[in-house]
Amino acid sequence: MLQIIVPACELFNEQTNEFIYLKAQPLTLEHSLVSLSKWEARWNKPFLTEEPKTRVEMADYVRCMTLTQNVQPDVYSRLSERNMKEVDAYLEAPMTATTIRDTKKGGRTSSQVVTSELIYYWMVSLNIPFECQKWHLNRLLTLIRVCTIKNGKDNKMSKRDIFKQNAALNAARRAKAKSKG
């Protein structure tokens, strides 16, 4: 969960020739599968892509992440650069102590586009309870990856990779023992 404060703002109404003072607005945000689903339903495109998002799209994602009740819509147009940097850092945070070592160095990465429905499918197929849809998204994706690895679907090595790994282990053992064979 992230808490940010959208700064106070002073605007001028040209019709009434008056200044309008808007108070600072605290927001509580959660980057979760629920917020991802809301955003994708509104924009009809996947959020988890390398394609950069516009300022409007990111402000709308902040709106989708908002847990704070009764927020005025104009608050999202007042998000500062500092607010957006805080949000970006929060989106990138792993939110878990688990690290997964990639055994396939230089291997192919999947070109599959990840959407909220695909993540829900993974949850169903791995028997992950739906309460986890409110977790930080990176934590949920790590859990999905751990479940996949522990179920043995992601750790099969090709014969070539096994031979290469065994050759490297044997070479290291020969070097350590100062042996030729």
Local confidence pLDDT in tens for the 181 residues of the chain: 999 999 998 888 888 888 888 899 999 999 999 999 999 999 999 999 999 999 999 999 999 999 999 999 989 999 999 999 999 999 999 998 988 876 555 544 567 899 999 999 999 999 999 999 999 999 999 999 999 888 875 556 778 888 888 888 888 888 888 887 6
Is 78 inside a domain boundary? yes
Chain length of the chain: 181
3-state SS, residue 95: coil
Is 156 inside a domain boundary? no
Is 28 inside a domain boundary? yes
- The number of distinct structural domains making up the chain is 1
Q: Which domain holds residue 58?
A: 2-92
Strand locations in the chain (E): 2-6, 9-13, 18-22, 25-29
Q: How far apart are CA 164 and CA 159, in angstroms?
A: 9
Which bin fits 106, alpha (ψ -120 to 50), beta or left (φ > 0)?
A: left
Is 39 inside a domain boundary? yes
Which residues have C-beta within 8 Å of that of residue 37, sequence separation ≥ 6? Answer: 116
> What's the one-letter identity of residue 30?
E
Is 34 inside a domain boundary? yes
Is 124 inside a domain boundary? no
